[in-house]
Structure 1
Amino acid sequence: MKRILTLAAAAVCALTIAVQPAAAASFPDVPKANRFNDEIQYLTGQKIISGYTNGSFQPKKNVSRAEAAIMIGRMLDLNGAKRNTKFKDVNAQNGASGYIAAATEKGIISGYKDGTFRPNQSISRGDMAIIMSRAFGIETGTVHEFKDISDNMKSYQAIRSIAGDYITTGYADGTFRPNGSVTREQFSAFLARGMSPVYKQRTVNKDGYMPDMTKKYVYATNQGDLTMEYKKTKGQFAELTYTGFFWVGERPATKEVYYIHIEETDKMLVTAYPFSEYYTDLVYPVKTGTTWQNGPADADIAKITGVNKTVKTQYKTFTNAVEVTEKGTKSYYVKGIGLVLSVDSAGKAQRNLKAIK
Structure 2
Amino acid sequence: SIGKTGNITVKLPDGTDLDAKHQVTVIVTDHKKAPQQGKNVAVKGDLGQSAAGKTDKNGELTVPEVEQAERHGVYIVGYTDGTFGPSRSMTRAEAAAIFARLLAEKNGDTISTVANTRFTDIPAHAWYSGYAKYLNNNGVTYGKSKTIFAPDDAITRAEFTTLAVRFFDVYGDGDAEIMEQYKDFNDVSDGYWAAAYIKAAAKHGWINGYGDGSFRADDEINRAEVVTIVNRLLGREADEDYIADNLRKLNTFPDVSRKHWVYYAVMEAANAHTAVLGESESWSK
Q: TM-score, normalised by structure 2?
A: 0.51
Query: In the alignment, is residue 54 of structure 1 matched against residue 54 of structure 2?
Result: no
Alignment of 1:155-174 (within 5 A): 155-174=194-213
What's the offset of the Cα at 1:136? 1.3
- Identical columns (%): 27
**Distance in 2, Cα, partners of 1:110 & 1:79:** 20
Alignment of 1:88-99 (within 5 A): 88-99=120-131
| Equivalent residue letter for 1:73 | A
- Tell me: CA distance 1:97–1:62, structure 2 relative to 1, closer, same or farther (3 Å): same
What's the offset of the Cα at 1:180? 0.6
**Distance in 1, Cα, partners of 2:278 & 2:135:** 34
Give the structure 2 partner of residue 72 of structure 1.
Answer: 99
The structure carrying a bigger helix percent of its residues is 2
What's the offset of the Cα at 1:114? 7.0
SS in 2 for 1:76: helix
- Tell me: CA distance 1:193–1:143, structure 2 relative to 1, closer, same or farther (3 Å): closer
Alignment of 1:193-342 (within 5 A): 193-196=232-235, 198=237
Select which of 108, 128, 134 maps to 1:102: 134
**Distance in 2, Cα, partners of 1:159 & 1:181:** 15
- Per-residue CA deviations over 1:40-71 (Å, capped at 9, x if unaligned) read xxxxx731111112211111110000000001
- Per-residue CA deviations over 1:225-281 (Å, capped at 9, x if unaligned) read xxxx9xxxxxxxxxxxxxxxxxxxxxxxxxxxxxxxxxxxxxxxxxxxxxxxxxxxx
What's the offset of the Cα at 1:79? 4.3
Select which of 112, 115, 121 maps to 1:81: 112
**Distance in 2, Cα, partners of 1:142 & 1:151:** 17
| Equivalent residue letter for 1:81 | S
SS in 2 for 1:90: coil
Contact 1:79 1:102 (C-alpha < 8 Å) held by counterparts: no
What's the offset of the Cα at 1:115? 2.1
Query: In the alignment, is residue 113 of structure 1 matched against residue 140 of structure 2?
Result: no
Give the structure 2 partner of residue 352 of structure 1.
Answer: none
- Per-residue CA deviations over 1:259-309 (Å, capped at 9, x if unaligned) read xxxxxxxxxxxxxxxxxxxxxxxxxxxxxxxxxxxxxxxxxxxxxxxxxxx
Contact 1:133 1:161 (C-alpha < 8 Å) held by counterparts: yes
Give the structure 1 partner of residue 192 of structure 2.
Answer: 153
Contact 2:119 2:148 (C-alpha < 8 Å) held by counterparts: yes
- Tell me: CA distance 1:90–1:141, structure 2 relative to 1, closer, same or farther (3 Å): farther
Give the structure 2 partner of residue 122 of structure 1.
Answer: 154
Contact 2:113 2:127 (C-alpha < 8 Å) held by counterparts: yes
Give the structure 1 partner of residue 231 of structure 2.
Answer: 192
Which runs of 5 or more structure 2 residues have no equivalent in the other structure? 1-15, 23-71, 173-178, 239-260, 262-276, 281-285
What's the offset of the Cα at 1:80? 2.4
**Distance in 2, Cα, partners of 1:111 & 1:49:** 21
Give the structure 2 partner of residue 175 of structure 1.
Answer: 214
**Distance in 1, Cα, partners of 2:184 & 2:193:** 16
- Tell me: CA distance 1:167–1:197, structure 2 relative to 1, closer, same or farther (3 Å): same
- Tell me: CA distance 1:142–1:149, structure 2 relative to 1, closer, same or farther (3 Å): farther
The structure carrying a bigger strand percent of its residues is 1
| Equivalent residue letter for 1:117 | F
**Distance in 2, Cα, partners of 1:56 & 1:133:** 28
What's the offset of the Cα at 1:148? 0.6
- Per-residue CA deviations over 1:113-156 (Å, capped at 9, x if unaligned) read 37210000001111111111111128x97442100111112211
**Distance in 1, Cα, partners of 2:129 & 2:237:** 32
**Distance in 1, Cα, partners of 2:141 & 2:81:** 30
What's the offset of the Cα at 1:185? 1.1
| Equivalent residue letter for 2:137 | E
Report how many residues are paired. 164
Contact 1:66 1:119 (C-alpha < 8 Å) held by counterparts: yes
Q: TM-score, normalised by structure 1?
A: 0.41
